[in-house]
Structure 1
Amino acid sequence: MFRRREAVPFAFVAEADRFRSNVTPPPRERPSGSQLAGRTLIGLTIVCGLAGSLLLGRPALESGQAPGHSQQSEASDGR
């Protein structure tokens, strides 16, 4: 690889870390009403989608036993 021949003085690097600009950035624009409404609708859509997936997915996560039925083998029923 190509190496730099001149060394960078340490004072220059340290000075670059302390440099502060005296130029202030322009103020941020406030979002309009339609932008706020759109962001709110997108957030609600995501939250409702997550909640709906939890509600619809719960039956698939259950063990599959019907309530009130105990698990018995067929051999013990035949006596």
Structure 2
Amino acid sequence: MFRRREPVPFAFLAEADRFRSNIAPPPVERPSVGQTAGQWLLGLTIVAALVGSLVVGMPALSSDHSSTGPQSQASQGR
């Protein structure tokens, strides 16, 4: 098997951690008023959908199943 005889210098890796660029990144653009309003509207729609699904699903989640209500004919026949 081929082996390398001279050691591989890893000094360039240590220098890479300390490297600082003199080029500044571009400034972050602030979202416009329309984009902010759209984000709020989307969040409000999601929250309203979750609350609505909880309100609609509450009767199915309740454990109070009273037998005083009307029963179907199939359940009375047996």
Residue 43 (structure 1) aligned with residue 15 (structure 2)? no
**Can you give the 5+ residue segments of structure 1 that lack an aligned partner in the other structure?**
70-79
CA distance in 2, matches of 1:7, 1:45: 62
Change (3 A) 1:11 1:61: same
Which residue of structure 1 lines up, in the alignment, with residue 34 of structure 2?
A: 34
Partner letter of residue 37 of structure 2?
A: A
CA distance in 2, matches of 1:44, 1:18: 45
Taking structure 1 as the reference length, the TM-score comes to 0.61
> What is the percentage of aligned positions where both structures have the same residue?
65
Deviation of the 1:46 alpha carbon: 0.8
| Aligned-residue CA RMSD (Å) | 2.4
For residues 31-72 of structure 1, the C-alpha deviation after alignment (integer angstroms, 9 at most, x for no partner) is 111111111111111111111111112221222423xx8xxx
Which residue of structure 2 lines up, in the alignment, with residue 52 of structure 1?
A: 52
Runs of 4+ in 1 over 2 A off after TM superposition: 5-10
